[in-house]
Chains A and B, each alone.
Chain A
Amino acid sequence: MQTQAEHYDFPDAKGHFGPYGGVFVAETLQAALLALNHEYEKAKADPAFVAEIQRELKHYVGRPSPIYHARRLSEELGGAQIYLKREDLNHTGAHKVNNTVGQAMLARRMGKRRVIAETGAGQHGVATATVAARYGMECVVYMGSEDIRRQAQNVYRMKLLGATVVPVESGSRTLKDALNEAMRDWVTNVENTFYIIGTVAGPHPYPMMVRDFNSVVGKECLTQMPEMIGRQPDAVLACVGGGSNAMGIFYDYIPHANVRLIGVEAGGEGVATGRHAASLTAGSPGILHGNRTYLIQDANGQIIDTHSVSAGLDYPGVGPEHAWLKDTRRAEYVAINDDEALDAFHRLCRTEGIIPALESSHAVAQAMKMAPAMRKDTVLLVNLSGRGDKEMATVAERSQAVMGTPQ
């Protein structure tokens, strides 16, 4: 297993995954990124740092998260067995906290007292505000004003945790603009500030670092699956916006060549309509937010507004490692539309008593699509990356239900 892993050694020292990744940022940020990379490499090799993170993940986050056999759902579908990696059971309700704990520890190690973050749906913002409270750091979260309107509850959660939420009014007023604004803050306050990026995108070392901090998910699966079923699954599925939960569960499976890796993008109203966020399925390579990757862009190279019912997948780029896994065909990428994700959301609520995040519902929907045609002893492992408490208003609106009335 380890000998196979040696074949996959990405990124290179400069942060490249083949032609993707890299450090495409202005000179003003080069010194900060070099310092971060240097410190991260040292920390990674420091047993005390690694042990401290493990302690935090166990006692604060509640790891390891269980794997659950969705037996009723599988029986109803009549084919493959669906297993769920329960990242929704983590503290703060999603995988995002695996990464923010790691980066906050690194910030502390570097003596930075102020952390900043960008957020779309608010999950990464909440996870950052949470660890900032836990470690006594000042926290500023940039969020598009359009997203603030859509995700009022998470905005309030961040405020409760002591964070300042700054509305971003530029561009499309969503996640990509929040990222631009956080970068601008970082350039300006680089001496005392640590930028906690929430996904496997951005300039090197972020894609590698965020993957590493989330790879605890796949590592646990590697030991949990044989304990449960005596072998590894046939396929691992995860939703992909920026792609951090997917990289987290994929990474340790990359050397296991007979395990299919399937990334599920947001097809929005359908890839053919142009209203989607499926960068790998329907985009083309370019440079945004410090790395080369697949982007949703127009003929002039301008970034186009994306659409998804799930705010957490509503991003016009994708982590560069996914671009590489796509081109090398180690992973497959598909798109699931809003309606299919909502169906999966309801189906999981009713059959298993689990309310999933709309992001994760995309991965569940893909599993539901594949399972019926598969043998009953086929095993699909789905990363249930987050819980759906935050979705009440969105789902009620889409189902034309009124909250507070039964039925």
Chain B
Amino acid sequence: MSRAASRIATTFARLASENRKALIPFVTAGDPSPAITVPLMHAMVDAGVDIIELGVPFSDPMADGPVIQRSSERALKFGVGLNDVLAYVGEFRKKNQTTPVVLMGYANPIERMGMKLFAERASASGVDGVLVVDYPPEESLALRETMDAAGIDVIYLLSPTSSSERIKLVSAAARGYIYYVSLKGVSGAANIDASDVELMIAKIKAQTNLPVGVGFGIRDGETARKIARFADAVVIGSRLIQEMEASTADNAVECVRVLLSDIRAKMDL
């Protein structure tokens, strides 16, 4: 790896020096409407987030719970596809050159565009990482090679059922950070047990020097704070989408900003 330090590595290095943990929001691009996505990304940065995970809508989000499914369906009603998502990132980059953006989604839209074209366009748009739920390390060597060449981190998942062997495999393949799915189930499921998560994070950290983020089941500042004691990053997704569902079109962005500011404050206490 001779390439320049990525925005993701730079971000984690800065946080470590400040003795703080990363706050990573997940929102689906184009939800609740395409016009909201770029302003929402800027507002989340204002609220103090460190990395943005931007969901690429997919018709069959097999690993997601009902909240993220709904958000994907809303975006698809506007016809939002991978090209649009890349355009949003390009637009965001006009004003923000520091906050890393990670695209999160499923393999088929990338397969459809073609790996090389995707890498070129993502790199040109200012994408820093990709997390493709249904590309496990064994099936994504081509993705890794192509993304590595384009200077984009491929982020992988680990879960409570991951064996030591798989932790090793994922650690060897992963770039940027590792995303630990904190519970058995789909995104947005019940609250998590912090002590179970802590044990597993220790096991993962024994295998890798990469930062480890925790997501699925974190719904408030209190839980975020508990998790941030031993994890390097906290990911919040379904809760943000629910917040927007409960708000009006006019104040959706503001509601998310307020919620994230509160979580940020609790994490930094």
Contacts and interface: CB of A to CB of B under 8 A. Distances in A.
Whether A associates with B in a native complex is yes
Interface in B60-77: 60-63, 65-66, 69, 73, 76
Contact of A303 (B59, B81, B82): B59
A303 B138 contact: no
A263 B73 CA distance: 33
Interface string B164-197: 0010001000000000010011100100000000
Given A27-B162, A27-B166, A188-B185, A180 B61 contact: yes
Interface stretch (B35-43, B104-112, B230-238): B104-112
A300 B109 CA distance: 6
Interface string A163-200: 00000001100001100100110011010000000000
Contact of B136 (A23, A183, A285): A23
A22 interface: yes
A301 B60 CA distance: 11
Contacts of B69: 170-171
Interface stretch (B144-152, B153-161, B249-257): B153-161
Contact of B166 (A26, A30, A187, A190): A30
A262 B254 CA distance: 59
A292 B59 CA distance: 16
Contacts of A190: 161, 184
A302 B162 contact: no
A302 B135 CA distance: 17
Interface string B74-101: 0010010111000000000000000000
Contacts of A288: 60, 108
Nearest to B112: A301
A303 B57 CA distance: 12
A14 interface: yes
A258 interface: no
A37 to B, nearest CB: 13
Nearest to B163: A31
Given A23-B136, A287-B111, A302-B76, A32 B62 contact: no
A184 B133 CA distance: 13
B166 A184 contact: no
A228 to B, nearest CB: 44
Contacts of A49: none
A180 B112 contact: no
A170 B73 contact: yes
B18 interface: no
B230 to A, nearest CB: 20
Contacts of B62: 25-26, 180, 183-184, 289-290
Nearest to B69: A170
B134 A180 contact: no
Nearest to B85: A300
Contact of A290 (B65, B110, B134, B184): B134
Contact of B109 (A24, A285, A301): A301
A303 B60 contact: yes
B58 interface: yes
Contact of A26 (B81, B82, B157, B163): B157
B186 A31 contact: no
A27 B184 CA distance: 10
A24 B134 contact: yes
B155 to A, nearest CB: 11
B104 to A, nearest CB: 12
Contact of A171 (B57, B60, B63, B111): B60
6 contacts: A183-B63, A184-B185, A289-B60, A292-B111, A301-B111, A302-B108
Interface of A: 14, 22-28, 30-32, 170-171, 176-177, 180, 183-184, 187-188, 190, 285-290, 292, 295, 297, 299-303
